[in-house]
């Protein structure tokens, strides 16, 4: 009878795969396994659907894609014949029971076992039931070199299905969980609570390996960890950083205990949000093959923080900032935009829009005769700027970074085919007051991995002055909107918390103001459907999380 091992060295591969790049993901997995082998690992735990990239969405419906993923899994399994560490890696697999979100366990040059996800999430950003079938039944633990390992997959520990408890009853000694858990504010605490709840039920230590990287609007923040059977944190990996960390587990009378592993510090709120935005922009640009980006630098807070994020994510040489002044552009804005560009070290161009705007107005003179000048004429300025940015994009292959915050997008204070033009918006899910908070934070800190300079990169005057679109004389945002602290609180109640008007009024808000904001939120849905994707920061972003009808006559209390 083979003696059971008393020590198990488990490597966690917290990596940044690319959806659809099966060959690239396999190469990344091989590199991580080689790294883990050098560190003396017995087994490497990868994240959910690693070979496919997560989430693969409707790619899973393509037979050629499934075939490529399975072949990569088989090839990787053969690698383990070298006597190095075994692997647990995620891949979609098509079987008689359906197409499953799966993992394979490989060692000694062959696949030892397959396991299928049982609980398919179908809420918020997840719609796995669209493309996957749940595993037909719970399969027991896998015997790996004498250790019985239970392998629930992501949602299997989040839902109501008693997967972990059943695995424990089936003889599992330790649980290794591959995950694709996207970031939102305070998500790490929630993950810890989920794991502790499961440990209370099953009594087994659990390792939680989480994906890293940006995938369209989703940000996977890593922050892999383990919690012991005693419900204490056994190790904590870094957030927003790739890593292959080997942890040492020892068999005791009370089960497996982690004796060695990293204990990384998790960023505070502003740093975490900023790094999520930075990672999301970097991966969207790089994974989609853009060499550089361009944005309109207006002298306002939104474009300034987007410029800082672009330089931090990509480097100063990959950002072109363009000031497009008109007759209402103030001297302060001209100076602030130039100061911001200089502080960041990026290229700065000035392209006046007086002639194109006047040309549009001249062309429309006869049609607009007898009408009052107003928002239509103001929007011509925004659309001229949007057209210029798209022309630069077409000419030089630069992706346009669009710069509208969540407060503006909520109430429709953005111009279609104007300032909404662009390929990606790093602050799409940040309310205005959060933009201010992150700007102040960035002026005092340089986040890890940032390519931008230290010091004040967003001029103080941009932060201190009243926000304005400068589309007419002496205009400020507060001419037509409630103060941003008030607006943001109402919007968070309506969007994130789905609160009724009466409940929001009970918080101290004026009823007429709440009703107006709710109305603006609903009627701007058609604009948001045409907006560029952007980084998800809150629990409920516009897009994947919140799917309201465009045609919608419901108003609370009316």
- To the question of whether residue 460 is assigned a binding role by annotation, the answer is no
Between the alpha carbon of residue 32 and those of residues 27, 45, 51, 107, 264, the distances in Å are: 9, 10, 13, 16, 20
- To the question of whether residue 300 is assigned a binding role by annotation, the answer is yes
Between the alpha carbon of residue 446 and those of residues 241, 290, 299, 439, the distances in Å are: 15, 24, 22, 11
| Secondary structure of residue 222 in the 3-state scheme | strand
Note the pLDDT tens digit of each residue in 479-519: 678 899 999 999 999 999 999 999 999 999 999 999 999 99
- To the question of whether residue 425 is assigned a binding role by annotation, the answer is no
pLDDT at 471 over 60: no
Active site residues: 48, 117, 154
Closest CA to 308 of 125, 198, 439, 187: 439
Note the pLDDT tens digit of each residue in 71-99: 999 999 999 999 999 999 999 999 999 99
What is the rounded (10 degree) CA torsion for 186, 192, 193, 198?
A: 150
Return the percentage of the chain with pLDDT > 90, whole number: 82
Give the phi and the psi of residue 383 in degrees, each rounded to 5. -70, -30
Instruction: Say how far apart CA 439 and CA 447 lie, in whole Å.
Output: 12
- To the question of whether residue 123 is assigned a binding role by annotation, the answer is yes
Note the pLDDT tens digit of each residue in 391-448: 999 999 999 999 999 999 999 998 989 989 999 999 999 999 999 999 999 999 999 9
* 403: its two tokens: 């710069």
Lowest-confidence segment of 56-60, 148-152, 473-477, 520-524 by average pLDDT = 473-477
Closest CA to 217 of 377, 388, 57, 21: 57
**DSSP code, position 101:** E
Note the pLDDT tens digit of each residue in 163-183: 889 999 999 999 999 999 999
pLDDT at 254 over 70: yes
Give the phi and the psi of residue 491 in degrees, each rounded to 5. -65, -40
């Amino acid at each position: 009878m083979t003696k059971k091992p008393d020590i198990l060295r488990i490597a966690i591969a917290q990596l940044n795969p690319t959806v659809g790049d099966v060959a690239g993901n396999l190469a990344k997995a091989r590199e991580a396994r080689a790294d883990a082998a050098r560190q003396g690992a017995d087994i490497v735990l990868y994240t959910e659907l690693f070979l496919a990239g997560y989430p693969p969405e409707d790619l899973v419906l393509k037979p050629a894609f499934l075939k490529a993923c399975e072949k990569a899994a088989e090839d990787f399994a053969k690698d383990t014949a070298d006597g190095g560490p075994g692997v647990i890696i995620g891949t979609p697999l098509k079987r008689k029971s359906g197409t499953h979100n799966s993992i394979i366990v490989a060692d000694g040059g062959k696949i030892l076992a397959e396991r299928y996800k049982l609980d398919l999430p179908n809420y918020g950003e997840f719609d796995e039931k669209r493309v996957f079938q749940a595993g037909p039944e719970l399969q027991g633990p896998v015997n790996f070199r004498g250790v019985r390992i239970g392998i629930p997959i992501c949602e299997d520990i989040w839902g109501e299905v008693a997967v972990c408890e059943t695995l424990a009853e089936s003889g599992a000694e330790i649980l290794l969980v591959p995950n694709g858990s996207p970031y939102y504010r305070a998500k790490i605490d929630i993950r810890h609570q989920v794991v502790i709840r499961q440990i209370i039920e099953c009594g087994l230590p659990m390792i939680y390996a989480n994906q890293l990287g940006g995938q369209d609007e989703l940000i996977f923040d890593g922050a892999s960890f383990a919690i012991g059977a005693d419900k204490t944190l056994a190790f904590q990996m870094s957030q927003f950083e790739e890593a292959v960390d080997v942890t040492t587990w020892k068999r005791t009378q009370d089960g497996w205990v982690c004796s060695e592993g990293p204990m990384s510090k998790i960023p505070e709120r502003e740093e975490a949000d900023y790094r999520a935005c930075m990672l999301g922009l970097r991966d969207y640009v790089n994974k989609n093959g853009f060499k550089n980006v361009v944005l309109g630098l207006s002298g306002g807070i939104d474009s300034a923080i987007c410029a800082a994020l672009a330089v931090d994510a990509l480097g100063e040489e990959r950002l072109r900032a363009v000031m497009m002044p008109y007759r209402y552009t103030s001297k302060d804005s001209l100076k602030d935009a130039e100061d911001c560009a200089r502080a960041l070290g990026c290229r700065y161009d000035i392209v006046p829009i007086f002639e194109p705007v006047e040309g549009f107005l001249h062309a429309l003179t006869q049609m607009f005769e007898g009408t009052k000048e107003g928002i239509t004429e103001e929007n011509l300025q925004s659309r001229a700027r949007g057209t210029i940015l798209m022309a630069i994009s077409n000419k030089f292959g630069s992706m346009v970074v669009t710069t509208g915050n969540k407060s503006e997008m909520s109430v429709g204070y953005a111009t279609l085919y104007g300032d909404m033009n662009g390929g990606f918006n790093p602050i799409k899910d940040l309310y205005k007051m959060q933009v201010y908070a992150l700007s102040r934070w960035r002026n005092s800190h340089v986040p890890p991995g940032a390519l931008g300079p230290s010091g004040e990169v967003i001029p103080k005057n941009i932060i201190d002055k009243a926000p304005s679109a400068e589309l007419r004389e002496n205009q400020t945002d507060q001419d037509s909107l409630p103060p941003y602290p008030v607006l943001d609180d109402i919007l968070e109640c309506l969007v994130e918390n789905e609160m009724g008007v009466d409940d929001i009024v009970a918080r101290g808000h004026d009823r007429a103001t709440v009703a107006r904001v709710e109305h603006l939120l609903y009627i701007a849905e058609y604009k948001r459907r045409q907006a560029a994707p952007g980084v998800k920061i809150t629990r409920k972003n516009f897009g994947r999380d919140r799917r309201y009808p465009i045609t919608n006559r419901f108003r609370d209390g009316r």
